Amino acid sequence: MNLEDELSKLFADKAAFDVPVADDAADTVVRGARRIRRRRRLAAGGAGALTLAAVIGVGVAAAGVGGATGSPPANPSLSVVSTSSRPTPSKVVVPPAGGTTVASGTLTRTAQTRPHTKHRTTTTEPTSTGSPPPGNPVPFGPAGFDGLTLGMTQEEAESTGTITPNLQPDSGPDCHGYDYTDFPRPAGEYSVILSGGGGITRLTSLTNAVTPEGIYAGVGIEKVHTTYPEGSGSDAEWTAPVPGNPQAQYEFLFDGGRVVLMRLELTGGSCLS
């Protein structure tokens, strides 16, 4: 006997209840029982569907794990969900003038080329002193130059080996002209002049000569004037007393406003021209 038959039999016996029972009570209870049974069947079917879905999901996950062991992802630090099979076109970037375009995947980078910077050339204005001093300076004055001194006799001067007779050794009566050894000059142009009675009366500078006051070949005329303000002369020459030697004088010759030659002379000496 099923549930419906038992309920029908139960409610058919009205005397078994103390309270009155409606005529359709049995039908109502039966309908309710049927609804409960249908709900249970639906619930059982839904649970089965969920179980099947879970089994399928586990299988898919297992298949994914198995595939991952075969080949690792190209970029493990980046997860991308693709919603379209159409590849994204690369963006073309036109580099500016002087630039270089470097393509990387779908990105395009433009490398800028720095403009060439010209090296600046610093121009040093010439100072009032003119050329730099010689690298091996030799004192010129106040008494002499390169082992020779004013007033030195002809014999003493020749014994030093510093001078040799000029091509025209005699410049006048009892006047003798010499060149510095290894620095010959044309005939009649003397570096050293001697007087038979007074010894050396003139010494002419070489390129390494520097006065104690710092004057040498290449120095500007203004520097000479300020260094020897007691002198006199013109734009071509300047004659001044020698500091520390009252018996001597300097004679500076200029060309283009700069010293080209210096002379150390006995003041009032003979054979000077």
The DSSP line for 34-84 is HHHHHHHHHHHHHHHHHHHHHHHHHHHHHHHHHHHHHS--S-TT-------
Of 133, 124, 131, nearest to 255 (Cα)? 131
Cα atoms in the Cβ-side hemisphere of radius 13 Å centred on 268: 2
Q: Alpha-carbon distance 53 to 61, whole Å?
A: 12
| Domains in the chain: ranges and CATH | 3-60 (no CATH), 138-266 (2.60.460)
Q: Backbone phi, then psi, for 180, in 5-degree steps? A: -70, 140
Quick: pLDDT tens for 38-71. Answer: 777 766 665 555 555 554 554 445 445 444 444 4
Residue-level pLDDT at 16: 53
Q: Backbone phi, then psi, for 261, in 5-degree steps? A: -160, 145
Is pTM beyond 0.75? Reply is: no
Residue-level pLDDT at 209: 98
Q: How far is CA 254 from CA 180, 217, 273, in A?
A: 22, 9, 18
Quick: pLDDT tens for 139-185. Answer: 999 999 999 999 999 999 999 999 999 999 998 888 999 999 999 99
Query: Could you give the 3-state DSSP secondary structure of residue 26?
Result: helix
Q: How far is CA 251 from CA 11, 17, 83, 236, 267, in A?
A: 160, 162, 101, 10, 11
Q: What is the mean pLDDT of each run of 10 residues along the chain (273 residues)?
A: 66 56 62 73 61 51 46 44 46 48 42 43 43 91 98 96 96 92 96 93 97 98 98 97 98 98 94 81
Residue-level pLDDT at 124: 34
Give me the residues paired with residue 145 across strands: 140, 148
Give me the residues paired with residue 253 across strands: 237, 261
